[in-house]
Structures are given as C-alpha cells and as structure tokens.
Chains A and B, each alone.
Chain A
C-alpha cells in the first residue's frame, strides 16, 4: 500500500532529533496501549504483518498528526472490529465512560 507510513525520501519533515535518555514510554497510556496490543495479538486472531497493515490504513492526515502509540491503538481497534471481537459502539461507549470517570 502506497500509504503515508512510507515516508522514506520525503522532504519537509524536519531533522530527526534523538532525545537524551529517551524513556520507553512518554505517557502511562502508551504503556497500556503497547501491552493491550501484544496481549490481543497473543489471541492469535491476526499475525504481526496484519497488525502492521492495520496501522498503515490510518487516514494520512490523522497519521501525521499523531504519535507512534496512537498508530498502534488505531491498528488494534481496527483489527478488533474487523475480527468481530468488539464493535465500534462498544469502543465509543467505553471512551465515554472513561471521560465521565475522569470528569472531563
């Protein structure tokens, strides 16, 4: 797929600036997103290449505006829905619930 993930050779994205003492995760939710993706992958409903392709399917504007683990979450949600394990409505309901619990 000639998607936005294939950035090699593209100009205008600025220099790569390595972070000193870069942590594995920058936010607590990234740790959870990573663990959720691996735990769900261990379920065996898809393989690693299907997982990569799911992340590549993120709409291009959204892909560029979001970080690495947001790509992971997008891919995980997409696979869970495609496989009939959860529905979009269930994800939306859980997001609403989490927002209410946070008082947002």
Chain B
C-alpha cells in the first residue's frame, strides 16, 4: 500500500482544490428530463446512495447533472463505473401514500444504475 503524507504546508491548497466526483466523459445518458422512471429495489450489503424509502417508487427525471463516479462500486473496490446522475422528482403521495400533502415533492440525486424506465 502506498501512503502519501499530507504536509502542513500543502494542506490549504489540497483542501481548497477538493475532490470532485465529476468525470469529464461523453457518456450516453439512459434518461432525459421528463422521462418516467422507477427506482430499483436493490439492497446491496455495501455502500449505496439510493434511500430505502424510494426503492420501487415511480418518479420523473427532473434534470441531468452529468457524469460522475458511481459511489456503490467506488466504495467497494475503487472502481469508478462512470455514469449519469440525475435529479429525480418523486411526489409525496408516491412515497408516503394518500395521506401525504398533495404539493409535497422530494428531489433525489440518483444514478443510472438505480433506475429503470417506468
């Protein structure tokens, strides 16, 4: 294992630079804004960023954020699996049932691998 040492003198520059997960790749998007989707019911034992309450629920692509590192694979072994990440709009009633407020919506940032066409 290689272990880099962060020197105090370099700390500020490194922190200001940050570490974006965005990838500059011209990858085809599986969905476009307005597309109806259903969040996959996946229950991986490792890291995932698709919340339980949205799995199996129907929503609509609101906008495409672009291409990013896919966190589930990246957390497992560092594999990047670049793919599009979208802001997806779900209604409160779809998530919480008929008692939810009518004008309540949740926007979730979800990756291609979390979604199927609906």
Tell me the A residues contacting B by CB distance below 8 Å: 1-2, 6, 8-9, 38-39, 42-45, 47-50, 52-53, 56, 83-85
Contact = CB atoms under 8 A, between A and B. Distances in A.
Nearest to A35: B11
Given A1-B44, A6-B52, A53-B47, A44 B2 contact: yes
A45 B52 contact: no
B99 to A, nearest CB: 13
Contact of A1 (B19, B45, B69, B96): B45
B1 to A, nearest CB: 6
Interface stretch (B22-30, B31-39, B59-67, B70-78): B70-78
B46 interface: yes
- How many chain B residues sit at the interface, stated as a range, is 20 to 34
A42 B4 CA distance: 7
Interface of B: 1-6, 11, 14-15, 19, 21, 43-48, 51-53, 69, 71-72, 74-75, 78, 95-96
Given A43-B6, A85-B3, A49 B47 contact: yes
B47 A43 contact: no
**Chain A interface secondary structure, helix, strand, loop or mixed?**
loop
Nearest to B14: A42
A51 B71 CA distance: 11
21 contacts: A1-B45, A1-B46, A2-B43, A2-B52, A6-B51, A6-B52, A8-B52, A9-B52, A9-B96, A39-B11, A42-B4, A42-B14, A43-B6, A47-B74, A47-B75, A48-B19, A49-B47, A50-B74, A52-B47, A53-B47, A84-B1
Contact of B47 (A9, A38, A44, A56): A56
B18 to A, nearest CB: 10
B27 to A, nearest CB: 19
B75 A52 contact: yes
